[in-house]
Chain A
Amino acid sequence: MQEVMPATGVFSLLWLLIALPLAGAAILLFSGRKTNKWGPYLGVFTVFVDAIIAIWMLIAMMGNSAEQRTFSQNEFSWMFAGNLKVDMAFQLDQLSMVFVLLITVVGTLIHIYSLGYMSHDPDKRKFFGYLNLFVAAMLLLVLANNYLLLYVGWEGVGLASFLLISFWQIKPTAAAAGKKAFIINRVGDVGLSLAIMVMFVTFGSVGFDEVFGSTSQASEGTLTAIGLLLLLAAAGKSAQFPLQAWLLDAMEGPTPVSALIHAATMVTAGVYLITRSNAIFDAAAWAATAVVVVGVITMFMGAIIGSAKDDIKKSLAGSTMSQIGYMVLAAGLGPVGYVFAIFHLLTHGVFKAGLFLGAGSVMHGMNDNVNMRRYGALRTAMMVTYATFIIGTLSIMGIPPFSGFWSKDSIIHAAFESNTLVGILTIIAAAITGFYMTRMAAMTFFGKARWEDGVHPHESPKVMTIPLIILAIGSTFMGIALLFWGNIETWLEPVTGFEEKHIAIPEWALITITLILVLAGAAYGWIQYARREVPLVAPRGNWLTRAARQDLYGDAVNNTLVVQPSFWLSRFLVWFDGSWIDGFVNGSAAFFGGLSARLRPYQSGFIRSYALSMVGGAVLVVLALVLVRLS
């Protein structure tokens, strides 16, 4: 059993983790042009200090025994209404700790990278303000000790995501993408808010401890309902089926945003939510199964979309969907999978951030062109970007000893532990990963140069390449470090639980089969896109490619099922509002206005008539009294 420790020592700074970037955001967003010059550096500074505090906290936490690694800090009583009592209270345990580290460390690197990437943007200060706002909200999300406070962070990251996707709102596509992300996320948010309400009704509290401690009192039906609602929330935030459509459009935002929010941190909030709520899913088998199904579907959808897109960022976005699908399905497997979901989340956060930043670096050198059909042969032009991108590619494909191998292999193993079919599916998806990542690397860095006229690719400045190098180092060694030195299973076990089951296939055989399939996929990609000529205009392709280019018709489905009916409904409401509601309002306004005009003459200004009215009033008062007495 976990013992809850008071937040003393360095842990008394828990509130500061959130307050620092929040203050940064406030200063940057409200201070006006005067801070243009040093504002971005302030934005970097707050997150950097956060990262140092986080590392310090990690060291302090490792000094404690495994049962004494939960720290809680109660700031003040936040809400107090009837039976509902919610504190502004933070809780740092092993699970939150790894998230805090991911957010602050990767966040710092991306902030630094943005100094270079956004250096020519006139609204740089605003950009860093939004980034700080995002970091603050994301930290609130993972540090909250109750669902309601988590919800505040959840909405906060949604807002920051919206603001950053549509950061270049002059582009209609960016503005539309921001709105799309926001609206689809609302669907998930409704799920979360309903889940919180059901929890309050069932358990009388929304605190983590209270809810998880009393799951045995609730019926399985209730728990399943809560679990499914939480899954809906997670699907919205993590771009899982059926709420996946926004993530591809979200690539309209600046690339650092895609790296920080839409690859490393925010989109993994759904995985955090499911893992955090493990007590609920452990007691609701149907909900857990639904989680696995959603994860598997998204894993394939993302991989297929990633294989067909020519836009480098959208291809990466498809890959993100697919990898989060892995995490979600792992989280759905229960105690065999939670820790590996988080493990993969961490390694993915690092290598995917590196890949996105690498893509940004390529775009930086290619006049912001994202079409991979106009890339090619860039390995000589941008050495650092090339090297780091390849490391990221090997990592995501799951080639040993890169970090992705360890985490993905763990998930595949866990999948076989609980269900052979799911296990086989994860291996197939891994093979597709091999294909699309090789395709991306080949189209970008190998083959012949297919550059547009006037493009002179060049390496990015140091401020951008150094974060790439650091992330590449992480992509290489983090898996080994976390697994063998960090003991990720035993680290997370007190929070999420962990068990290992024996499977029929020996470990080495599973790894070998997986690797062969991945390499086969990679080889096919290499032959297709490095050996052969890549046409400048995409060929028609088979039906699957065409469907994948249309995001597997996600928009069409949304349009038919949701958008069109909404239009009809809103047309009806506009008509109803115009003819009935407005009619009533305008009619009553006219009535009272007319009444007012008619009463005005009695305010004549003559003192005698005022006095008369007072006498009348006195008579009225006395009469009223008498009437009451008589009646």
Chain B
Amino acid sequence: MNAVATVVHAVDVTPWEMPTLDYRLLAPVLIVLGAGVVSVLFEAFLPRGVRRPVQLTLVFVTLIAALVAVINLNGVRETAGQGALAIDGPGLILQGAVVVIAILGALLMAERGLDPNGDAFAARASSLPGSEDERQFTARGYFQTEIWAFFLFAVGGMMLFPIANDLLMMFVALEVMSLPLYLLAGMARRRRLLSQEAALKYFVLGAFASAFFLYGAALLYGFSGSISFGEIAASLGSKTGETALILIAIGLVVAGVLFKIGAAPFHQWVPDVYQGAPTPVTGFMAAAVKIAAFGALLRLLYVALGGMRWDWTPMLWVISILTMFVGAILALTQSDIKRMIAYSSIAQAGFILLGVVAVSAKGLEGAIFYLIAYAFTTIGVFAIISMVRDENGEATHLSKWAGLGRQSPVIATLFTIFMLALTGIPLTSGFIGKFAVFSAAYASGDKWLVIAAVVASLIAAFFYMRVVVLMFFTEPNEETAIVAIPSIFTTIALAAAATVTVLLGVVPQPLLDLIANAGVFIR
């Protein structure tokens, strides 16, 4: 009752004033979202033939412009949009990472050299799978360029997510990011039923998770009388009583975000969606959503709920251990490489949670480094998955990867590098990332959590290495897939992913310094 009274009071006295907006600070997000609108207009008015080159130009110019705008904000540390957005070091690094990963993701999505029928997307998403329409559209060589509008909106949402500084903005960002992804997930050219099922599952469960978030946000507002993270933190520090309300609120809000990072027990959508979605979309989603959602989770927990850390760290302990082990153990028995990588991404989310649980500057740095390293590796993994094919499209069953090392030593070696990075072997980025979060958690006194994480890493090593063994130490047979030669798009993305994976393993210091110099979240 008390809380409600405060709200009513607040509404009474606050006069309406025109919000002041600093467009320089908003530029990165505005560029991308604006380009999304332009992309829709292009889709509506341009003739079919020129859409692809125009859209691709728009996307890449936009992303590079957004990257420049982010870099331009280097050193800024203030809030924008009446406190709704926080432009600070970690936020900008995460934004920059999202943009760079989006560029690589766009390169994968633009690929048309792998599938004999065109790109990875259905000729017309509206046609019924298996129908005469579908055959017609495919035969006529129709393509969907609408994906680029969705893509740009999703990127805009992802860039907004880690800098959202109040509950409402965070929710909006969450939805702007998610809705286009639900659609993109359902547009696979092959195995369309699986893809559509995945999209529907993703959408329904995502909506469900959003409901959690929204309900929790409402309760937090009810408790503190504000949606701003700073004021929530202040009222958590000053107010007592209403314990049940605040605990339920935290639980629900955090659960909503944990869904997006794929933490157990909110993880069950991950394998289905990763498997069903078009592989380039999976790669982009797996890499970029992790960055954005972890950024949001970190800001939410560190800034808004930092005062309650003694309440939520044990809960995250449990979630983290559960996530690592569920991901690692279930990956052991997967026979489909996309599902296996999906479970691996669940396990990796568990590892990154160690950096969150540390609740320290070191933990923040470690988590950010891990996210960036992981994102590049993941893009590379899915780039290769999209290249390994048989006559039915991508050959995702593991048995088809047997002996791949004999037939395509270069690709198999690159895949091995990515697997080593995901395992966390030295001289790859994965090792530095694991070391950073593990040591941060250890320094914060979470010894047992680190031991659990090491055990989970050991279990995970088994299934990563299994692919390597399969590729190199098994004789090829007539089932073995062949590696399609990609165009320049996938080649660039793959080369970049492999280079960064090795480079961050050999000379991690520049990036570590960059992250360390970025400081902590603005309060």
Contacts and interface: CB of A to CB of B under 8 A. Distances in A.
A624 B315 contact: yes
Nearest to A609: B268
Contact of A625 (B268, B315, B331): B315
A596 B212 CA distance: 29
Interface in B309-336: 310-312, 314-315, 318-319, 326, 329-333
A624 B332 contact: no
A592 B212 CA distance: 33
A607 B272 CA distance: 10
A593 interface: yes
Contact of B333 (A593, A617, A620): A593
A626 interface: yes
A628 B329 contact: no
Contacts of A600: 330, 333
B268 A603 contact: yes
Contacts of A620: 265, 318
A616 B255 CA distance: 11
Contacts of A621: 251, 254-255, 258, 315, 319
B376 interface: no
Interface residues of A, number: 27
Could you say which of A595, A599, A617, A620 has the most chain B C-beta atoms within 10 Å of its C-beta? Answer: A617
A624 B247 CA distance: 9
B470 to A, nearest CB: 16
A624 B250 CA distance: 11
Contacts of B264: 617
B251 A613 contact: no
B459 A592 contact: yes
Contact of A597 (B208, B255, B265, B333): B333
B324 to A, nearest CB: 13
Contact of B326 (A599, A618, A624): A599
A532 interface: no
A345 B265 CA distance: 73
B204 interface: yes
Given A593-B332, A628-B310, A622 B252 contact: yes
Interface in B196-217: 200-201, 204-205, 208-209, 212
Interface string B243-266: 110011011101100110000111
B333 A596 contact: yes
Nearest to B248: A622
Q: Among the interface residues A593, A600, A613, A621, which one has the most CB atoms of the partner chain B within 10 A?
A: A621
Nearest to B253: A621
B329 A599 contact: yes
A618 B258 CA distance: 10
A625 B251 contact: yes
A112 B146 CA distance: 68
B462 interface: yes
A250 to B, nearest CB: 33
A573 interface: no
B271 interface: yes
Interface in A575-628: 589, 592-593, 595-597, 599-600, 603, 605, 607, 609-611, 613-614, 616-618, 620-622, 624-626, 628
B243 A618 contact: no
A590 to B, nearest CB: 11
Contacts of A622: 247-248, 251-252
Contact of B250 (A596, A609, A617, A625): A625
A629 interface: yes
B265 A613 contact: yes
A419 to B, nearest CB: 52
Contacts of B247: 622, 625-626, 629
Given A603-B271, A621-B251, A621-B319, A628 B205 contact: no
B370 interface: no
A614 B330 contact: no
B251 A614 contact: no
Given A607-B204, A625-B251, A617 B332 contact: no
B269 interface: yes
A616 B264 CA distance: 11
A610 B268 contact: yes
Nearest to B329: A596
Contacts of B250: 625
A88 to B, nearest CB: 15
Given A620-B265, A621-B255, A610 B205 contact: yes
Contacts of B459: 592
A578 to B, nearest CB: 19
Contact of A610 (B201, B251, B252, B332): B201
B102 to A, nearest CB: 28
Contact of B330 (A603, A605, A613, A626): A603
A398 to B, nearest CB: 53
Nearest to B252: A618
A605 B314 contact: no
B312 A625 contact: yes
B320 to A, nearest CB: 12
A618 B318 contact: no
B314 A628 contact: yes
Nearest to B458: A588
Nearest to B509: A80
Contacts of A614: 205, 208-209, 212, 255, 259, 265-266, 268
A603 B334 CA distance: 12
B311 A628 contact: yes
Contacts of A618: 212, 251-252, 255
Interface in A137-155: none
A601 to B, nearest CB: 11
Interface in A536-586: none
Given A625-B250, A625-B315, A605 B272 contact: yes
Given A622-B252, A628-B314, A592 B329 contact: yes
Interface string B281-315: 00000000000000000000000000000111011
A583 to B, nearest CB: 16
Contacts of A610: 201, 205, 268-269
A629 B309 CA distance: 11
Nearest to B244: A626
Contacts of A616: 265
A617 to B, nearest CB: 4
A589 B462 contact: yes
Interface in B369-424: none
B266 A617 contact: yes
A620 B333 CA distance: 27
A307 to B, nearest CB: 52
A298 B18 CA distance: 95
A396 to B, nearest CB: 49
Given A622-B251, A625-B247, A626-B247, A592 B332 contact: yes
Contact of B311 (A596, A617, A625): A625
B346 to A, nearest CB: 11
A582 to B, nearest CB: 14
Interface in B453-504: 459, 462
B329 A595 contact: yes
B171 to A, nearest CB: 17
A614 B268 CA distance: 9
A624 B314 contact: yes
Contacts of B315: 621, 624-625, 628
Nearest to A625: B247
Given A596-B332, A607-B201, A617-B258, 15 more contacts: A596-B333, A597-B333, A600-B333, A607-B200, A610-B201, A610-B268, A613-B265, A613-B266, A614-B209, A614-B212, A617-B255, A618-B212, A620-B265, A621-B254, A625-B250
Closest 5 CB pairs of A and B: A622-B251, A617-B265, A624-B315, A596-B333, A596-B332
26 contacts: A592-B459, A593-B333, A596-B330, A599-B326, A607-B201, A610-B205, A610-B269, A611-B205, A614-B212, A617-B258, A617-B266, A620-B265, A621-B255, A621-B315, A622-B248, A622-B252, A624-B251, A624-B314, A624-B318, A625-B247, A625-B311, A625-B312, A625-B315, A626-B244, A628-B311, A629-B247
